[in-house]
Structure 1
C-alpha cells in the first residue's frame, strides 16, 4: 500500500497567519494528504485554551515547538520573534523532517513542506537540504506580496534604502499603473516601530524573497478578480482564495480567544435583517482611551444596533476597559441596542442576515471574510498592510468608506455616526459588494480559478 503524501505546514506565530495556514492544512487533508501542523508552544497553548477546533479526528497532527522567548516576553515584538525563530524553531523542524516515518511514526515520511511566507528562508532551506518539495503561502493581499517581490525595484527607484528598507523621497508609489498607490511608510519592515533591529528585519525579508524564488509553488489567499493587476505583474503567484478562514464544519478553528458563539448568534437571531453594525478589529489593534471612548459614543450616536468585539487587551498599556459614563446602561443594558463580546465566530457573524456592515481594521482575513459574505465596510486600518487593504475596499472595489481622523489624529464620534448613516443608505455600494461576493464564490467552486489553482498546487506537491 502506497503511503499518502505527508505535508509539514508551518504558520507564522500570529493569529492572522495561523488561521489561513490551518485552512490550507485542512484543504490538503481533504485531498488525501497526511498533515503535520507546527505551532510554537505559546501559540499552541492559546489555541488549545480557546477550544478552537484542534479535535478533528486525526486529519491534522499538531506539534508544538519552542520559540526561544521566555514566558512573559512580549510576543507582539514581531522583529524579535521573527529573528529568534531561525535559531529555535528551525532545528526542531529539521528533526521532524529527518525523523518522520521512522518506526511507523504518525503520518509516515514527510514528503513536502508548506510554509508561511513570513516564516522566512530557513524553512525553505530545510526543504531544499532534505530533498522535499516546498511551497510558500502568502496569507495577505497579492498587492502587498508584490512590494516584497519588488524590493530591488524599490531600491533602484530610490523609494527605499538598500540597507534597512526605510522610506526615501516620495511618500507614495505604484508598482504598475493598474495597481493602487501605496505609501512607503506602510511597507511591512517600516511598521515595526522604533527598533534598532529594522535593518536585520529587512535583510531577513530580502533573504525570504530570494528563498521563495526556488520553491515549487507560491500561493496567495486572494482571487483573480480581486487583484488582476497584481497577478499580471507576478503570474507565478497562484491565487487560491478566499479561504474559508477560521471555521470548519460550523466550528471555529485556530482562534486565540474563545468565541462567544451562543451569545453572539442568539442575539443576532433576534435582530431584523440588515440592521446590525458588526465592529471587530482583529487580534493586534489597540486603542488609546480617548479613541476607544469616541468609538463607543459614535456607535451610540448612530442609533443603530451593533455587535462589538472588545478584546480583553484592546487598550494600550493594558488598561482596563473604561466605557463612557452610563454607556453600558444606556446602550448595552436590558433591551439595549448594543451587544459586547470578547470574541466572536466572525465567519458565522458576517454570514448572518442581520449584519448590515462591518467596521473593520482591514486585516486581510477580515477583508476576505467580509467580501465573501457581501458585507460593506467602514475601513479603519491600524497597521502595515491594512492601509493597502483600505485602499482596495474604498477606492478600487468601492465596497466601503474610509474612517478619517481629524487634525488631532482622532476618528470622532460624529464622523463614525455620519459614516455609518452614509454607508447604510448607499444602494450602489450594496450592489457592488454583492457583485464582488459573486466573483469570490465563483472562484472557489469546482471549475473556478482558485479551486483549480489549489488542485494544481496539491497535485504538484504529491510528486516525489
Structure 2
C-alpha cells in the first residue's frame, strides 16, 4: 500500500479563492488523498465550520484548522491590502508549529501567465519597478491570447503593496514549485497555458450537486430562488450577480435597478447583505418582474433551464461557472483580471457582450436594456455558448485533458 499524500491548502480569505480551493480539496479526497484546510479564524467563524481542539473534520473529510490573521475583530476585512499585510506579518511564524501539530489555488491560466511574465514586462519597459504601466500599447503574452491592456493587469487596481508582495515573494515561491495548477481547461486558454510547461489545467473544478458538502459561503444561501425559477419560462430569466467583493457606486446601483424594471424579462438579482447600508433602491423602482436575494448557490442557478443570460462582474469563478452552464454573458468588470476575462468572453469565445460607459464611466439604464435585448436576440451567441459548454465539459469526462492532468498530478504526489 502506497503512502497517502497529505495536502495543506491555504486560500486567501475571500470567497473567490475559498470556493475553488474547497472544490479542489474535495477532488483530492475522492482520489484517496488527505486534505488539511487552513482558514483564518475570522473566515472559519464566518463560514460556520465547527472547530474542536484546533481542528475538526466535517462529513466531506476535509480537516479544518485555523490561524489568526492578526487583525482585531472590529477591523475592516474588506480592505484587502490591510488583510494581506496583517497575514504576512502574523501567520508565517505560526505555520511551522501548526504543521507539526497536523503531522503528530483562483486562478485562470491567463492570470498565471501575467505573473510568470512579470520579469519580462519589466525588462521590456511595459511596467516599472512599482508595477505602474509605462507604455500605452496593448500586448500579447502569446500569439493565441487576446491583446491585453496593461492598465488592466491583475495587480493594477489593487496597488503597489500587492505588486510588491507578488513580485518580491510570490514569484520566487512559485518558481520553486514543480506545478502551477490552474482552474481552467486547455480548450479555454490554450495560449496562456503555452507560456510555461509548469501550467497544469485541471478544471473547471465544478460540483453542481453539493448537498452532501457544507457550504463554504459567508452568507446563507437563498433556496427559494430555485423554486421561483421553476415557475419561469425556459431561457427567460436575467441573472445578475457581481460576486463576493465588487461594490457598485450608489447612483450606478439605482440605475441598474431601473434598467431591470425596463427589461421585459424576469430577473434574479443577488444583492449581498454587506452592501445593504450603501445600496438604496430608487423610489420609482418596482421590481415586480423579479426576485432579489442576498446570496445563492450560483452553480445551481446557472444550470437552471430558466436562466437566459448572466450579467456578471466576470470574476474567474463566475466566468467558468457560466461557461460550464452554457449561459451567455453581459460583462460588467470592476477590477483586476475581470477585464481580461471580459476579453475572452467577448473577443475570443464570443459568448457575450460588453457594456459601454459614458464619459463619466457611468452605464445608463438604456445601455443595459439595449444590450440585454441584443443578447436575447443573438442566436449566434447562444449557439457558441452551448458549444463551449460541451467542449469545456469534455475536458472533465473520461479521457479528457483536465481529468488526465489531475490523475497524473495525484499519481505524481503519491
TM-score range, shorter chain: over 0.9
Give 1:222's match in structure 2, choosing from 184, 187, 199: 184
* Cα deviation code 1:379-428 (max 9, x no counterpart): 10011100000010011100000011112211110010110100011111
Q: Partner of 2:117 in structure 1?
A: 150
The Cα of 1:355 is off from its aligned counterpart by 0.4
What secondary structure sits across from 2:25 in the alignment? helix
Q: Partner of 2:13 in structure 1?
A: 13
- 1:442 and 2:394 aligned: yes
Give 1:287's match in structure 2, choosing from 215, 236, 248: 248
Q: Partner of 2:82 in structure 1?
A: 80
The Cα of 1:190 is off from its aligned counterpart by 1.8
Give 1:337's match in structure 2, choosing from 289, 295, 307: 289
Q: Do the aligned partners of 2:10 and 2:37 also contact (CA within 8 Å) in 1? A: yes
* Cα deviation code 1:415-444 (max 9, x no counterpart): 101101000111111110111100110001
Q: Partner of 2:47 in structure 1?
A: 47
Aligned-residue Cα RMSD (Å) equals 1.9
Cα gap change, 1:410/1:251 in structure 2, threshold over 3 Å: closer, same or farther?
Answer: farther
Cα gap change, 1:252/1:270 in structure 2, threshold over 3 Å: closer, same or farther?
Answer: farther
Q: Partner of 2:134 in structure 1?
A: 168
Give unpaired runs (5+ residues) of structure 1. Answer: 103-136
- 1:254 and 2:207 aligned: no
Give 2:264's match in structure 1, choosing from 290, 303, 313: 303
Q: Which stretch has the larger CA shift, 215-224 or 265-274? A: 215-224
What secondary structure sits across from 2:37 in the alignment? strand
Cα gap change, 1:44/1:372 in structure 2, threshold over 3 Å: closer, same or farther?
Answer: same
Cα gap change, 1:417/1:55 in structure 2, threshold over 3 Å: closer, same or farther?
Answer: farther
Cα gap change, 1:171/1:191 in structure 2, threshold over 3 Å: closer, same or farther?
Answer: farther
Give 1:210's match in structure 2, choosing from 160, 165, 172: 172
What secondary structure sits across from 1:260 in the alignment? coil
The Cα of 1:87 is off from its aligned counterpart by 2.6
Give 1:370's match in structure 2, choosing from 313, 322, 328: 322
Q: Partner of 1:414 in structure 2?
A: 366
The Cα of 1:250 is off from its aligned counterpart by 6.4
What TM-score does the superposition give when structure 2 sets the normalisation length?
0.94
Q: Do the aligned partners of 1:363 and 1:389 also contact (CA within 8 Å) in 2? A: yes
Deviant stretches of 4+, over 6 Å: none
What secondary structure sits across from 1:451 in the alignment? helix
Cα gap change, 1:444/1:266 in structure 2, threshold over 3 Å: closer, same or farther?
Answer: same
CA distance in 1, matches of 2:273, 2:49: 15
Alignment of 1:376-455 (within 5 A): 376-455=328-407
